[in-house]
């Protein structure tokens, strides 16, 4: 009789514990629902990086050894497949013999890429498509001779899928806030620019050259240069 009573009491203690736990959880949820709903949007924005950044990750820079810088031979085609580059990928080599410039061109722009070569704005046109291809580089490094390009000089861009030749039309000077020369265009053009050279310090003035497309030649087949 006493054992049965003890078992009954034990059950009451256990059930009381479970009931209390459920009650407290329910009250907590009820109390926190409104503040959580208010904070949810902010939390989703603040902790939205599902890629889970780690210190080792960051910009992936890809060099491209498949770009041939040989001038086109006879077996080129006027149309072909364009290989769209990914951000941080070297996708072209720019050469201007008149200004002694030969520089790798990366797709996208960042401090790391500008340290390695010239950068083509990912908002501009991929070489081979119709529009404005905008490329810039540092004045103290790769585009130190940019202002030496005169109207009529030839600029050649070699990619994995084709060779694109432009002729310099005009030298331009503009403020860094002026987007006139970097906006999309209906014609095929190339815009190269850099900072105005200063003795020390940075300049808000940009200098560059606008070029017209002279020829675009694609490698036959899948667009591979090799």
Partner 1 sequence: MKKIRLYLPNVLLTFLLVFALLGTECVLFAKYVVLNADTFRTVAEEQDLKTKAYATLEKEFTSNANTTGIPAEVFLDPVDTDALHQGILDSVSQAFDYLNGKSSDYAFTMDFTELENAVNTFFSDYAEENGYEKDEAYDEKVTSAISSAESRILFVADTFKLSTIYRNGWLEKAKKYIGYLNPAAMGMIAVTAALLVLLIVCNRKQMAHLAYWLGLASAIAGLLLLLPCIYLTATDYFTAFVMSDPQIFAAVVGFLQLLTGRAMLMAGITAGIGILLLVLFGILRHKAASDSQQSSPDDGN
* Interface contacts to partner 1, rule CB under 8 A: 1-2, 6, 13, 16-17, 20-21, 23-25, 27-28, 45-50, 52-55, 58, 111-112, 114-115, 138-141, 195, 198-202
Which of 156/192 has CB closer to partner 1? 192
Nearest-approach distance from CB 212 to partner 1, in angstroms: 28
- How far apart, in whole angstroms, are the C-alpha atoms of residue 143 and residue 127? 19
Nearest-approach distance from CB 117 to partner 1, in angstroms: 12
Nearest-approach distance from CB 48 to partner 1, in angstroms: 5
78 contacts 100 by C-beta, under 8 angstroms:
no
Which of 17/221 has CB closer to partner 1? 17
- How far apart, in whole angstroms, are the C-alpha atoms of residue 102 and residue 23? 73
From start to end of 36-98, where are the E strands?
90-96
CA angle 72, 73, 75 (to 5 degrees): 110
DSSP designation for 36 = H
Nearest-approach distance from CB 113 to partner 1, in angstroms: 10
Pick the closest to residue 82 from 5, 144, 158, 160 (CA basis): 160
Which of 38/74 has CB closer to partner 1? 38
Which of 34/48 has CB closer to partner 1? 48
Which of 171/203 has CB closer to partner 1? 203
Nearest-approach distance from CB 195 to partner 1, in angstroms: 5
Nearest-approach distance from CB 47 to partner 1, in angstroms: 4
Pick the closest to residue 196 from 149, 153, 144, 151 (CA basis): 144
Which of 102/154 has CB closer to partner 1? 102
Distances (CA, A) of 4 to 7, 8, 14, 122, 224: 5, 6, 15, 79, 86
Q: In a 3-state reduction of DSSP, which class is residue 173?
A: strand
The upper half-sphere exposure of residue 208, i.e. CA atoms within 13 Å in the direction of its Cβ, equals 23
């Amino acid at each position: 009789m006493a054992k049965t009573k003890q078992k009954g009491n034990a059950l009451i203690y256990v059930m009381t514990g479970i009931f209390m736990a459920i009650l407290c959880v329910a009250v907590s949820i009820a109390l926190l629902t409104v503040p959580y709903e208010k904070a949810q949007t902010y939390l989703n924005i603040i902790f939205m990086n599902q890629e889970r950044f780690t210190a080792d990750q960051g910009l992936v820079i890809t060099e491209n050894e498949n770009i041939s810088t040989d001038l086109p031979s006879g077996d080129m085609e006027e149309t072909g497949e364009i290989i769209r580059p990914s951000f941080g990928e070297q996708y072209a080599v720019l050469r201007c013999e008149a200004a002694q410039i030969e520089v790798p061109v990366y797709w996208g722009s960042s401090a790391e890429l500008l340290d390695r070569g010239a950068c083509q704005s990912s908002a501009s046109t991929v070489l081979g498509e119709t529009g404005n291809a905008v490329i810039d580089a540092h004045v103290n490094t790769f585009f130190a001779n940019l202002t030496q390009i005169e109207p009529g000089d030839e600029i050649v861009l070699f990619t994995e899928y084709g060779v694109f030749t432009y002729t310099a039309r005009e030298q331009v000077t503009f403020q860094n806030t002026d987007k006139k020369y970097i906006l999309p265009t209906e014609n095929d053009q190339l815009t190269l620019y850099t900072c105005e050279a200063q003795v020390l310090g940075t300049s808000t003035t940009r200098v560059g050259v606008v070029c017209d497309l002279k020829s675009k030649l694609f490698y036959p087949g899948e667009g591979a240069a090799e």
